[in-house]
Amino acid sequence: MYRFCMKVYGCQMNVYDSERVRAALLRRGWIEAGEDEADMIVFTGCSVRGKAEQKVWSELGRYAPLWKAKKRPYVALTGCIAQNLGDSVFSRFPWVRLVSGPRHIGLLPEGLERAMTGERVTLLDEDPREFHGLDDFPSSGLPSHEPPSSGGIIEARENRYRGYVTIAHGCDNFCTYCIVPYVRGRFLSRPPQEVLHEVQALIESGAREVTLLGQNVNSYGNDFDNDYGFAELLRQVARTGAERVRFVTSLPQDFTEKIARVMVEEPNICPSLNLPIQAGSDRILRLMNRKYTRAGYMEKVRMVRSLLPEVGLTSDLIVGFPGETEEDFQESVSALSEIRFDLVHTAAYSERAGTPAAAMPGALPQETRMERLNRVNELQNHIALSINRTLVGRRFRILVDGSAPRGEGLLQGRTPTDKVVLFQGTEDLLGRFVSVEIDSAESWCLKGTLIDENRQ
């Protein structure tokens, strides 16, 4: 039988797709192996940011000496990077035997078997509404075997306690900087029964927290011919028995009071919301085609905080968009100061070929973009630290989901508001809910002490 190794770069949706492919391959009798023993390396890559794309390019190049010596391993390139680069990779990297976009994962297992015979397999969208799904769930009926520590980037331990379910594919919003609608295709909601069935399967396999995924989860159901939408789905998911429910990502103009009220009414939906602002200046928001104004955004924040006073609010911000003046940039700075997010994923604008913004006049020098990025990061670190310090002395119930990345014998978990808490504990706590008291704060995490009596 064939041996495979998964390598995943990019967002949670790529991780989710890869887990499904992994499940399908194991079920078909493939064996997961370390990179050195694999017959097929399956790359899933992101093209949303230039950095992730460059990483995959350099990884692909690493197989040249092995290929020269042994004509192995074969390599498959999947995900939105594959849709973006197309079959041009075949000539550059002869070891690549399969190229498949994210809307073809249902055809991947069979395609990989064809590729193992030496065939060059191309599975790319002609029609952006086309979709080939995969029925295999990462959780259901898998052979009980852990991936080897040397193989793959997927963190098996995390998957056991936290499950992810994609509720919709693609996006129709066409923000001018974003490549997603071109590489992930048009918006397509999955039927609610399918989502609920998958959530149930995850819970039965031990997931204690379920996160619903989509480029814009709030648009869920817009393509149905009835009134069933995200608020309805969220409520049903909350009532499946999942102990904690999260969702990501929300587009500000589509996040409604109805959804916020479901979050209030269903106690197992975490009070945590990612609401990407992207810019504080209306002029830049218009150029980005974001379809909301700064004032409209502020109104959403007020609505959410009035209903969920303790909500953990995170955001995404791009600096250095083409034509962004110092005044525009200052509006982003003032938005961060005014709103005081718990966390902001900041990025310097990077051109994605084929998007409208890449052809806009007024591209800023890289140094200006990086200088602005450093300024917002410094400000945001300061804000996050001052928010986190107010939590010292408080107690939280956290799901212990792994070891602290920097070791020191610490475990980590997340509060309902999605703050990382590090604490001293033993591995038998992994996958359990425990209570911790916060002792100290940093800008990106909290440190606490375990309060034994509340472990479950």
Contact residues toward ligand SF4 (CB under 6 A) are 171, 173-175, 178, 180-181, 215-216, 251
Compare residues 181 and 185 and give the one whose CB is closer to ligand SF4.
Answer: 181
* Closer CB to ligand SF4, 159 or 314, in the complex: 314
Taking the least distance from each CB to ligand SF4, the nearer of 183 and 373 is 183
Cα 157 from chain centroid (whole Å) = 17
Question: Which of 215/417 has CB closer to ligand SF4?
Answer: 215
CA dist 165 and 138 (Å) reads 10
What is the closest distance, in whole angstroms, from the C-beta atom of residue 12 to ligand SF4 in the complex? Answer: 13
User: Is the previous residue joined to 240 through a cis bond, with omega within 30 degrees of 0?
Assistant: no
Q: Using the Cα atoms of residue 446, residue 452, residue 453 and residue 456 in order, give the sign of their dihedral.
A: positive
Q: How much helix, strand and coil, in percent to the nearest 5, is found in the chain?
A: 40, 20, 40
Q: In angstroms, rounded to a whole number, what is the distance separating the alpha carbons of residues 306 and 302?
A: 6
- SS3 (DSSP) at 209: strand
Supply the minimum distance, in Å, between the C-beta of residue 201 and ligand SF4: 27
- 3-class state of residue 244 by DSSP: strand
Nearest-approach distance from CB 174 to ligand SF4, in angstroms: 6
Q: Are 144 and 168 in contact (CB under 8 A)?
A: no
Minimal distance in Å, beta carbon 100 to ligand SF4?
Answer: 20
CA-derived radius of gyration, the chain: 22
The smaller minimum CB distance to ligand SF4, of residues 215 and 274, is found at 215
Q: In sequence order, what are the residues at sequence separation of 6 or more whose Cβ sits closer than 8 angstroms to the Cβ of residue 180?
A: 48, 80, 170, 171, 215
Residue 45 or 151 with smaller CB distance to ligand SF4:
45
Kindly state the smallest distance separating residue 44's Cβ from ligand SF4, in Å.
Answer: 17
Nearer to ligand SF4, 215 or 281 (CB): 215
For residues 374 and 206, what is the distance between their CA atoms, to the nearest angstrom?
41
